[in-house]
Amino acid sequence: MDKRIQEKYEIVVGLEVHAQLLTKTKIYNSDAATFGGEANTHVGVITLAHPGTLPKLNKVVVEQAIKMGLACHSEISRHQVFDRKNYFYPDLPKGYQLTQDRTPICVGGHITIKTKVGNERKIELNRIHIEEDAGKSIHLEGQVDTLLDFNRAGVALIEIVTNPVIHTPEEAGAVFAEIRKLVRSLGICDGNMEEGSLRCDANVSVRLKGANALGKKVEIKNMNSVRNVQRAVIHEAERQIALLEKGEVIVSETRTFNADTGKTYGMRTKEELNDYRYFPDPDLSPLFVSEEWLQKIQAEMPILPQQMFEKFVTVYGLPKYDAHVLTESKELAFYFESVAQLTNRFKSISNWLMGPVKSYLNEVGKEIDQVGLRPDSLQKLIDLVESGKVSFAVAAQFVFPEVLKSSVEPLVIAQRLNLIQDSNADAILPVIKEVIKEFPLKVEEYKNGKKGIVAMFMGEVMKRTKGKADPKLANELLTNELSKINI
Amino acid sequence: MLKAYATFAQIQHDLHSKKITCTALVKHYLANIESKKHLNVFLSVYADEALARAAVIDEKINRGNAGKLAGLVVGLKDVLCYENHPLQASSKILDGFVSQFNATAVQRLLDADAIIIGRQNCDEFAMGSSNENSAFGPTLNDIDNTRVPGGSSGGSAVAVMADMCQVSLGSDTGGSVRQPAAFCGIVGLKPTYSRISRHGLIAYGSSFDCIGIFSKNIEDAALVLEVIAGADEYDSTVSQTPVPAFSSLLSAASEKKYRIAYMRDTLQSPALQPEIKTAIEKSLDQLKLDGHSVAGIEFPLNEYVLPTYYILATAEASSNLSRYDGVRYGYRSPNTTDLESMYKKTRAEGFGKEVQRRILLGTYVLSASYYDAYYNQAQKVRRLIREKLKELLKEYDFIITPTTPTTAFKLGEHSTNPVEMYLADLFSVQANVAGLPAISLPLGTDKIGLPMGVQVMADDFEETKLFHFSKQLMNLA
């Protein structure tokens, strides 16, 4: 689409993010809440809404929701009721979903994102509320019948709703990513988008820049990655702008995003939607959050990514970029801290984690706590390099993979592989002399001022010593030898 | 052939003195059930099971380790869950359903060695005042088989009346225990809301629903309440208020004099059968003579009680009954073509007319455009009614009203006009709207021999006092 046309409009996005909470049992009964398992094996009489069953609130759900609220600087509601949202669907056993309509557990608050240019922006939240998940309808190819799996029915969710204050696809993606980071560092959701533990809907509208009224909003469902949130917003905004440019109206509707085509498709118009007939659930007593309870929850709050970032910059003296990368992942940040207990070469730890360790993790698709790299092994690797016995490059390329495979000390590995650097001038000097003798033309160039050629000599020296020459020492000796030559 | 026992205390006495056995007792009730099959009281009779359990409990009695309710034979309204037994709220929509767990009340009865003899007919989903709204046909009144036993717990009332069991558990959402108790000449108790766990009670109007007790006397009701009431981890709305030992408290005779109020307008209501009015007035006079203080009071909110109830109870019911959708259990229409037709046909074929009427009414009052005008308004009125009644109950120990405007009416008499039928609950609904405990006590018979009832209402959790006074009131006649 023509950029000039696009620039006439402002995109307005609000996100609704559902996070499945990491509770052992479901929100209103003692069935297991774990993902997977054979279909319909976590389904007791309450999950299946047998006649005579009643819900009983799992208090852990409330605590986890409050933690999210505290992390987002929301106001925590002290007195809450649970509401029934009535609609018929086969994967909704009771014929209503228990949710919080009138009294969400957390009101207001904000999430801080970093924009492309490195500025911070506060995205206001409307609310965070508690609700229960539905089961899964499974439509098998070529089969008329729909299959139902109720394992997920009644698993606890929080829904995080932002205000319509997001104005670019990048921001939308950043908000979703930040929410994922927060729930993971709070330990209340595993953030696994493929398994559906974290799901995002976006309300997208466009308006002419400067206009006050919001445009007709369209709800986009089914985006299961940060990238897809961005793609969906881009596509939907373009679709709406194109319609408006043609003088057509935008229909308030629900659309689904297809990751294969990158487009959104209409599901149902809002006019056809249910009247959910919300009313307070008479089976659950109103919930009161006492000051003591709130304080107990507050005391259990882990350190948050933003606080961690500040600590990495001020306490460990890391560059902001390093601190940002390391605190992106809770596991990586914690790992950094455990290595930092063993050595105070903080920048070296950072270099290792951001370099070889991270690329290895990406390669195997795991988190740092899943690969068996002991903090003291990394500390010994760092010592090995810092003591000048092995260069960083050699350690990363040859020693590190062995450390991952065995519990043998890095130094022993380096010795076995014959990688210990030669720091003996008597051993290196003859090689240097040999090289100078073999490349008289290069020496001439050097003498004529082309100092960069020294790298060529170093390369030769390293090649002939099979990388074992201490580069610092070799460089010194080489410069010294070259200076002795008079042409 | 055994005699009909008036009290469970006599049964226990005869059991312990080896005059009778539980087995003989169960056989006696089974014989009565069999001989009065035409009343259509039981939907299932657990004859073999009850006999087997009776033998086990006889053995326990011999060994001296039998529970508190050993020898008590109980019937359950078809809205109470009994593990591995059919359960269908007298509705086609739960065809073939078998409960997988025990209601807390049922579990506590079993733990105390009571014997469950069967499942009793009722109005579908406890909606009705005559027991005519049952997928299994009406239950008949044992005194006059052309008349209804009341409802919705009609089967449970007739079972006690006709000595088919010693006690029945019913449910009372708007009078469903007290009204049939009055029509059948027995005692019907609705305790304070939340006194008994609702876990295992099929929901109609959750904020009104109460398990209630049918018995032939106050002592049996007190003993059963003491066993089944109290805190329960499966119901988060159940009261944590301690449960007094009602039965032993009751055995200490009380001559305490009380402050009693009666509602003038209920006695002056043109809907009230004159003989009932006369009988109540006679009781009030006798109470005065006995030294109690008796005062007539006004309760201007009375005209709002029934509408408030029908708005809120149906609103809750419309949502509570959504789970009966043909997806997971019970009836599913065989004539469906897609999802929508499965819902529509299943529910149209599975639910009876009255249930459908109340679901529609409840759906209407909750819909976005009418929510404030009906549901919200009714919630406010409900709070006012409760506050006013609580105020009155600070001044008076009890409020007395007739249980019902008339004695048992003819089958089919009110079937064409639902509002006429709703008026049968005119006096009983108040206690449910306010959540207060109330009891219906037999008050003689009218001129054609049909039982009449008087209702006594007390303040929250004042069942002990209510039992004491009820005994005094029953001894008047």
pLDDT in tens, A95-106: 999 999 999 999
Shortest CA gap B11–chain A (Å): 32
Query: Is residue B28 in a domain?
Result: yes
The confidence score (pLDDT) of residue A270 equals 54
* Catalytic residue positions of B, numbered: 77, 152, 176
Buried b (16+ CB within 10 A) or exposed e, B442-470: bbbebeeebbbbbbbbbbbbbbbbbbbbb
Ranking A305-319, B165-179, B431-445 by mean pLDDT, the lowest is A305-319
Interchain proximity B329–A279, CB inside 8 Å: no
Q: How far apart are CA B181 and CA B453, in angstroms?
A: 8
Beta bridge pairs of residue B116? B74
- Evaluate if residue B183 carries a pLDDT over 90: yes
**Three-class secondary structure of residue B152 per DSSP:** coil
Structure tokens given for B27: 């056989």
Q: Which class for A259: exposed (0-12), middle (13-18), buried (19 or more C-beta within 10 A)?
A: middle
- Evaluate if residue A140 carries a pLDDT over 90: no
Query: Is residue B134 in a domain?
Result: yes
- pLDDT band per the 50, 70, 90 thresholds, residue A487: low
Averaged over B188-198, what is the pLDDT? 98
pLDDT in tens, B286-324: 999 999 999 999 999 999 999 999 999 999 999 999 999
Ranking A152-161, A244-253, B402-411 by mean pLDDT, the lowest is A244-253
Q: Which residue of chain A is at minimal alpha-carbon distance from B315?
A: A279
Ranking A192-201, B55-64, B121-130 by mean pLDDT, the lowest is A192-201
- Evaluate if residue B441 carries a pLDDT over 60: yes
- Evaluate if residue A178 carries a pLDDT over 90: yes
Report the percent of chain B where pLDDT is more than 90: 93
The confidence score (pLDDT) of residue B38 equals 98
B→A contacts (Cβ < 8 Å), by residue, are 79-81, 87, 89, 94, 97, 99-101, 103, 198-203, 206-207, 233-237, 315-316, 318-319, 321-323, 325, 327-329, 339, 343, 363, 366-368, 371, 375
Q: How far apart are CA A305 and CA A324, in angstroms?
A: 9
Shortest CA gap B154–chain A (Å): 20
Give the helix ranges, DSSP H, for B76-123: 104-111
Query: Is residue B236 in a domain?
Result: yes
Amino acid at A332: L
pLDDT in tens, B328-373: 999 999 999 999 999 999 999 999 999 999 999 999 999 999 999 9
Averaged over B175-200, what is the pLDDT? 98
**Three-class secondary structure of residue A352 per DSSP:** helix
Average pLDDT, chain A: 91
Amino acid at B151: G
Domains and CATH numbers, chain A: 3-292 (no CATH), 303-416 (no CATH), 425-484 (1.10.10.410)
The confidence score (pLDDT) of residue A272 equals 57
Q: How far apart are CA B284 and CA A320, in angstroms?
A: 87
Contact partners, residue A237, CB within 8 Å, separation at least 6: A6, A9, A11, A169, A204, A206
Please state the pTM of the whole predicted model: 0.86
pLDDT in tens, B211-263: 999 999 999 999 999 999 999 999 999 999 999 999 888 887 678 999 999 99
For residue A45, list chain B residues with Cβ-Cβ distance below 8 A: 100-101
The confidence score (pLDDT) of residue A464 equals 84
- For residue B256, the tally of other CB atoms under 10 A from its CB is 12
- pLDDT band per the 50, 70, 90 thresholds, residue A461: confident
Determine contact: A90 vs chain B, CB below 8 A: yes
Query: Is residue B366 in a domain?
Result: no
- Evaluate if residue A284 carries a pLDDT over 70: yes
Nearest to A56 among B103, B207, B234 (CB): B234
Query: Is residue B39 in a domain?
Result: yes
Averaged over A22-33, what is the pLDDT? 95
- pLDDT band per the 50, 70, 90 thresholds, residue B464: very high
Domain that holds residue B202: 8-251
Query: Is residue B276 in a domain?
Result: no
- pLDDT band per the 50, 70, 90 thresholds, residue A56: very high
Contact partners, residue A202, CB within 8 Å, separation at least 6: A13, A14, A15, A16, A172, A219, A220, A223, A229, A232, A233, A236
Instruction: State the total domains in chain B.
Output: 1
Interchain proximity A50–B100, CB inside 8 Å: yes
DSSP notation for B10-26 = HHHHHHHTTSS-HHHHH
- Evaluate if residue B148 carries a pLDDT over 80: yes
Interchain proximity B200–A55, CB inside 8 Å: no
CATH of the domain at B95: 3.90.1300.10
pLDDT in tens, A62-101: 999 999 999 999 999 999 999 999 999 999 999 999 999 9
**Three-class secondary structure of residue B227 per DSSP:** helix
Q: Which residue of chain B is at minimal alpha-carbon distance from A286?
A: B237
Query: Is residue B217 in a domain?
Result: yes
- For residue A472, the tally of other CB atoms under 10 A from its CB is 12
- pLDDT band per the 50, 70, 90 thresholds, residue B178: very high
* Residue ranges of A 223-242 with Cβ closer than 8 A to chain B: none
The confidence score (pLDDT) of residue A457 equals 87
The confidence score (pLDDT) of residue A177 equals 94
Determine contact: A154 vs chain B, CB below 8 A: no
The confidence score (pLDDT) of residue B466 equals 97
Q: Which backbone phi and psi does A89 adopt, to 5 degrees?
A: -160, 140
Please compute, for residue B279, the number of CA atoms within 13 A of its CA located in the half-sphere on the CB side.
Answer: 29
Angle formed at CA A320 by CA A318 and CA A326, multiple of 5 degrees: 75
For residue A277, list chain B residues with Cβ-Cβ distance below 8 A: 318-319, 363, 366-368, 371
| Chain A interface disruption, residue of B82, B84, B327, most A CBs within 10 A | B327
Query: Is residue B173 in a domain?
Result: yes
For residue A32, CA distances in Å to A42, A266, A336, B448 come to 6, 35, 34, 61
- pLDDT band per the 50, 70, 90 thresholds, residue A269: low
For residue A96, list chain B residues with Cβ-Cβ distance below 8 A: 319, 322
Determine contact: A285 vs chain B, CB below 8 A: yes
